Amino acid sequence: MTPEKDLQRVEEDRITHALEQAPEVAVPAGFAARVMATVPEQKVARVPAHGFFVRRTHYGRNAMLAGAAVLLCCLLVAGHGGGVAWQLAEWTALAQLGGIALWCGLAWRTT
């Protein structure tokens, strides 16, 4: 072999050896505490569901209360009317309002 090829071979071995060395990782003391201090506090309650944590929302409860308010308005209108159609509308609204009240009671009991 020629001296140039020997030098090239030595240089390649040195580069290969340098690339195969794993870097040393050093985590500074108190790193986790500093990171956790910068994270904002969570304000939304999270509940476990099927192995995951999900945000608890109140869309169902708000829809239930809005539906109950609409049904109460329908009852007031149906109460002033006369005839079988108005009485049927009144009983239907009362049945729906009772269903919402039952749903409300069961939903708030489980939370």
pTM of the model: 0.43
Cα gap 30→102, rounded to integer Å = 53
For residue 97, the enclosing domain spans: 3-110
- Mean pLDDT, the chain, rounded, equals 80
pLDDT for 45: 60
Give Cα 84 to chain centroid, integer Å: 48
DSSP annotation of 92: H
When pLDDT is cut at 50, 70 and 90, the band that residue 87 belongs to is: confident
Through-space distance between the first and last CA atoms of the chain, rounded to whole angstroms: 82
Cβ partners under 8 Å of residue 24, min gap 6: none
Residue 72 confidence (pLDDT): 83
- Of residues 78 and 27, which shows the higher confidence score? 27
pLDDT of residue 56: 66
> Which one-letter DSSP state was computed for residue 27?
P
Q: What's the domain count of the chain?
A: 1
